Structure 1
Amino acid sequence: MLRTRSSAKCRQQEPGVSGSNHFDSIAEVFNKVWHFSDEYKDFVISHIHTDLDLQPSDILADIGGGTGTFTGRLAREAKLSRAYCVEPSPAMCSEASKIADIVPICADAHRFSTMEHPYSKLLLKEVIHHIDKRERFWERTFQRLPDGGKLLIITRPRKIDFPFFETLKAAFSANQPDHTLFESELRSACFQVCTQERTHTFTLPKENWFEMLRHRFMSDIAPFSDEQIEEGIAEIDRRYPGNTIEIADRLIFITATK
């Protein structure tokens, strides 16, 4: 039985992606292993629609769009004029090319920002911590967006609520910048910023969760050996008795408007 629970909090504020080698290695199985639930996808997609205010006239650039699953769904549901799936991993980009409703571009964030492709909305879902030298990227993005154009960052807090083993929690925290840094950078680039924290809680069979860990579904898991992951899975198994595991995904949505 899948259970869901959502909450939201908003505070209004006034006026190149790395790790592609890891994702090359899991491109063919990515859509199978990175699958919390249909309800989870609906939760995220609905807030992307709302926060970006997607309209049929919009051109969307999905930076770090992976295999294009979210890009394609957003393009179809919002009837977008065009949708780019911008992905530096050739293997992931190859998977995205199988989706008819999107235009895959094999490039990282910085390279895309120098291209001549127009866009009115930009999505950075769970990718912002992979982009370095962001000040230049924000400057170019602000220049390229039309007045009223928007970008949306979806990220997580440094203290994650996932049922990870302790060494993985520490690794995630060390690699994850505080979201207030992104807010400050965006304000410095002259964007108007609104941040919302939303939590979606659901239940998965433990074996599904363990398989996701074994496939290293997040880049933070990539440095861990098979042995370390199996030891971590045993640690999680001891901590959470039973055949299912409850997962609370606390996401931070940062909307910036020109």
Structure 2
Amino acid sequence: MTDRTAEHYESVAADYDEHWSYDPDYVRRFAGAITDALRLTSSDAIADVGCGTGLYTRHVAEAVRPTRPILCVDPVPAMLDRLPKLPGLQPLVARAEDLASGQVPLPGADTLDAIIMKESIHHVGDRRKTLEGLVGLLSRHGRILVVMLPRTIDHPLFREAHERFAQLQPETSEIVETLAAAGLRTSVSYRTFHTTIDRQRYVRLLEARYLSVLGEFSEDELRAGIAQFRHAYRDEPVLRFDEHFAFVKGWVAPG
């Protein structure tokens, strides 16, 4: 994660969860999809790498009821400060790179049974080295799930934001190939989540830079982009769009 990205999350941490409060069912459904994809059980040692405020992690913990707290890993202390004080969640200030390299050791465990990386892989600098390191932390029945958007998304953003997002987002095939090269069996499935939101509320989300790509723009650039957005969607008081996610799963082959 770059310093600029860390600064972005530091600035949005206090209001981060409120960005998604317009549709709490979205969060629950997404957490359920993660839980199902990894086939999580209460006995699993689980880490959510890049968990942010634990917005999704807390729902995973509620569904799985792990006997060991889910390790909530994030490099931004302000985000982890918003993590609920629940017995099923354990915060750890660290980057994915720190965990993968062993610079920050796993607290209370030698291996992990399941690693979640939801929309955080694009913040990782050396993705190959980091994913290889994380794979090395998996138990003999371990699995990892990388949830990511495609380079082209349907979110109603302004043109420059779409272009910048495409530049920053890795290809799904890159992640699949990296996990396979690290010795895992892999699969890819695709999930679509339908979103409906009032246009004016969405403007407030844009102003709050609810997507990290919006942190790439100056105040003037963002203001111009929002003006472009307002013009493009001036006749749509309610916005409806689909979010298409790739669920890239890797697991340790038996034997």
Q: Say yes or no: TM over 0.5.
A: yes
TM superposition shift of 1:67: 0.7
Tell me the equivalent position of 1:105. 92
1:116 to 101, 106, 125: 106
Give the superposition deviation at 1:153. 0.5
Partners in 1 of 2:168 and 2:184 — Cα distance?
25
* Deviation by residue 1:163-213 (Cα, 9 ceiling, x = unmatched): 110011001011111111011111100111110112112210011111111
Alpha-carbon distance between aligned partners in 1 of 2:57 and 2:77, rounded to the nearest angstrom:
17
Deviations 1:1-41 (A, max 9, x none): xxxxxxxxxxxxxxx67622210111111111244512321
| Greater RCO (CA < 8 Å, at least 6 residues apart) | 1
User: In 1, are the aligned partners of 2:99 and 2:134 still within 8 Å (CA)?
Assistant: no
Q: Is the 8 A contact 1:34 1:217 kept in 2?
A: no
Identity of aligned residues (%): 26
Kindly indicate whether residue 17 of structure 2 is the aligned counterpart of residue 31 of structure 1: yes
- Does the residue aligned with 1:146 lie in a helix, a strand or coil? strand
The answer on 1:78 being equivalent to 2:71 is: no
**Deviation for aligned residue 1:71:** 1.4
Q: Hey, what does 2:187 align to over in structure 1?
A: 194
Asked if residue 175 in structure 1 is aligned to residue 165 in structure 2, the reply is no
SS in structure 1 of the partner of residue 189 of structure 2: strand
User: Is the Cα contact below 8 Å between 2:50 and 2:96 reproduced in 1?
Assistant: yes
> CA shift at 1:97, angstroms?
5.6
Distance 2:143 2:20 in 1: 27
1:58 to 23, 37, 44: 44
TM-score using structure 1 length: 0.88
Q: Superposition pairs for residues 153-168 of structure 1, below 5 Å?
A: 153-168=146-161
* CA 100–69 in structure 1, closer or farther in 2 if over 3 Å, else same: farther
Match of 1:217 among 192, 210, 213: 210
Contact 1:97 1:103 in 2 (8 A): no
Which 4+ stretches in 1 moved above 6 angstroms? none
Backbone CA RMSD of aligned residues: 1.7
DSSP 3-state at the match of 1:220: helix
Q: Give the secondary-structure state (helix, strand or coil) at the position aligned to 1:92.
A: helix
Aligned equivalent of 2:81, options 84, 94, 101: 94
In structure 2, stretches of 5+ residues that fail to align are none
1:67-121 Cα shifts (integer Å, max 9, x gaps): 1121122112101122011010011111126444300000101212311333210
Residue 246 of structure 1 corresponds to 240
Q: Is the 8 A contact 1:200 1:249 kept in 2?
A: yes
- 2 CA distance for matches of 1:221 and 1:72? 26
Residues 168, 77 of structure 1: alpha-carbon distance in 2 compared, 3 angstrom cutoff: same
Say if 1:214 and 1:226, in contact at 8 Å, map to a contact too: no
Q: Distance in 2 between matches of 1:214 and 1:207?
A: 11
Find the residue that maps to 1:228 and give its secondary structure.
helix
Residues in 2 aligned to 1:116 and 1:98: alpha-carbon distance in whole angstroms: 20
Contact conserved, 1:64 with 1:108, CA < 8 A, in 2? yes
Corresponding residue pairs, total? 243
TM superposition score normalised by structure 2: 0.89
Task: Find the aligned partners of 1:21 and 1:179 in 2 and give their Cα distance.
Answer: 27
Q: Which letter does structure 1 place at the counterpart of 2:242? A: A
> Taking structure 1 as reference, are residues 20 and 140 closer, same or farther at Cα in structure 2, changes over 3 Å only?
same
- Whole-Å Cα distance in 2 between the matches of residues 133 and 49 of structure 1? 27
1:69 match: 55
Give the secondary-structure state (helix, strand or coil) at the position aligned to 1:222.
helix
